[in-house]
């Protein structure tokens, strides 16, 4: 198993919503880009939901998210995992990112959206109990994972659920 580390957040002080994954997969880690796997639906959904063109460079797509007041990060700072699957994360190796500092520095965050069940479960287990009440009470919403491993739900249903971010962004 390999120890892996997440990326810094894509965020501005004016962000209103925060989208959290669990930990970047191997393709994303190699590219040093969030959601770099060509079959991951994240950027396709951002194109459909908030109008961030998929054809832009990674840096331009991230800048466009910031213009829409959307922040992007991962729950986990580091962990040990043998593959790209969330199910392969060694729970005893998990170290969460510093959300007390992040949420304090981003006071306009109104909702945290989880990109899948593992991101939500990890946040609720490792982050939420450590937060003061005013930060722990930020609205939260789990969205279906955009990972290619999540094939149990149709594309149309996933996309429809991802439209929830427009209520905050």
- Which residue is catalytic, options 40, 115, 137, 150? 40
Per-residue confidence (pLDDT) for residue 111, from 0 to 100? 97
CATH number at residue 89: 3.40.470.10
Residues near 125 by Cβ (< 8 Å), separated by ≥ 6? Answer: none
Q: Is residue 169 part of a domain?
A: no
Q: Is residue 9 part of a domain?
A: yes
Per-residue confidence (pLDDT) for residue 162, from 0 to 100? 97
Q: What percent of the chain has pLDDT over 90?
A: 74
Task: Place 134 in a pLDDT band, splitting at 50, 70 and 90.
Answer: very high
Residues near 169 by Cβ (< 8 Å), separated by ≥ 6? Answer: 16, 17, 50, 68, 69, 70
Q: Is 40 among the catalytic positions?
A: yes
Q: Is residue 84 part of a domain?
A: yes
Per-residue confidence (pLDDT) for residue 62, from 0 to 100? 98
Provide the domain count of the chain: 1
pTM for the full model? 0.93
Q: Is residue 49 part of a domain?
A: yes
What string of DSSP letters covers 58-112?
A: HHHHHHHHHHTTEEEEESEEEEEESSS-GGGB-GGG-EE--HHHHHHH-TT--EE
Residue 149: DSSP 8-state: T
pLDDT tens per residue, range 46-81: 999 999 999 999 999 999 999 999 999 999 997 777
pLDDT tens per residue, range 142-157: 999 998 777 778 899 9
Give residue 86's domain range. 2-164
Of 7, 86, 1, 80, nearest to 40 (Cα)? Answer: 86
Q: Helix (H, G, I), strand (E, B), or coil: what is residue 116? A: coil
Q: Is residue 55 part of a domain?
A: yes
Contact 159, 48 (CB under 8 A): yes
* Helix and strand numbers, DSSP H then E, in the chain: 7, 7
Residue 129: DSSP 8-state: G
Lookup: tokens for 2: 């390999």
Q: Is residue 51 part of a domain?
A: yes
pLDDT tens per residue, range 27-48: 998 999 999 999 999 999 999 9
């Amino acid at each position: 198993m390999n120890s892996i580390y997440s990326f810094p957040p894509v965020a501005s002080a004016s962000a209103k919503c925060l989208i959290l994954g669990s930990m970047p997969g191997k393709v994303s880690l190699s590219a040093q880009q969030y959601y770099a796997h060509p079959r991951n639906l994240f950027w396709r959904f951002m194109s459909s939901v908030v109008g961030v063109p998929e054809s832009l460079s990674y840096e331009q797509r991230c800048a466009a998210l910031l213009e829409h007041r959307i922040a992007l990060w991962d729950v986990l700072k580091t962990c040990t995992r043998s593959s790209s699957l969330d199910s392969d994360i060694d729970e005893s190796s998990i170290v969460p990112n510093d959300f007390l500092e992040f949420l304090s520095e981003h006071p306009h965050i109104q909702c945290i959206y989880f990109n899948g069940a593992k991101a939500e479960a990890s946040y609720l287990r490792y982050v939420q109990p450590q937060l003061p009440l005013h930060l722990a009470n930020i609205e939260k919403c789990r969205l279906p994972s955009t990972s290619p491993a999540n094939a149990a739900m149709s594309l149309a249903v996933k996309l429809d659920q991802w439209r929830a971010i427009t209520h905050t962004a």
